[in-house]
Amino acid sequence: MKLFGVGARLVAAGVLIAALSAPPLIAAPAPAIAQDRAKEMQQLIDCRKLADNTARLACYDSAASALDQAEAKGDIVVVNREQARKVRRQAFGFSMPSISLFERGEKPEEVAQASDKIASVRKLLSGKWEFRLESGAIWVQVDLTELPLDPKPGQPVKIQKAAMGSYAMTVGNQRSIKVHRQE
């Protein structure tokens, strides 16, 4: 029994030779880190490639100076891991997809609740409460739940994630109310 004729074998051999001799269709991707780095930071990293010690030192001095100037002007912001964690905690209640820039190197901690104290509070015309917290955050009640006791400055509050992207605030030991972060 013949599986392939002479013509089919020649065609298969031609395809194999063409495939092996052709340049690769997909180039290797560039390292992801290099694409995410600021130009000034990448220049500093690139100095490592220089073999001549004098040239490498001159490169480092120049790149470090450029990085320092960019940071002083605010073109580049350098944060450490603890500062990044603090930003994530301060942003609790906001939907910010760009905050991923603070998540390099480790899986970010999930901030599910926050505790604070009331700096000032006022009742809006709608009958709902607006809370200004000591951290500077402003939260506004979005449901119609009545609080038995009016909230007062200095009282502790606990805010936690609730169902479907909402947030619940507990003022002191009272029942929780649904809130939305404004600032």
More confident: 113 or 146: 146
Cα dihedral across residues 89, 90, 93, 96: positive or negative: negative
CA distance 61 to 58: 5
Instruction: Please tell me the distance from the alpha carbon of residue 140 to that of residue 156, in angstroms, as a whole number.
Output: 16
SS (H, E, C) 54-89: HHHHHHHHHHHHHHHHHHHHCCCCCCCHHHHHHHHH
Return the percentage of the chain with pLDDT > 90, whole number. Answer: 21
Domain spans in the chain, listed from the N-terminal domain onward:
34-73, 81-111, 113-181
User: CA triplet 181, 112, 141: central angle to 5 degrees?
Assistant: 30
- CA distance to 40, 50, 92, 131, per residue, from 156 (Å): 45, 57, 17, 11
Percent of the chain with pLDDT strictly greater than 70: 66
Tens digit of each residue's pLDDT (9 = 90 or more) over 25-70: 444 444 444 457 788 888 888 989 989 999 999 998 998 888 888 8
Higher pLDDT, 100 or 126: 126
Q: What is the pTM of this model?
A: 0.48
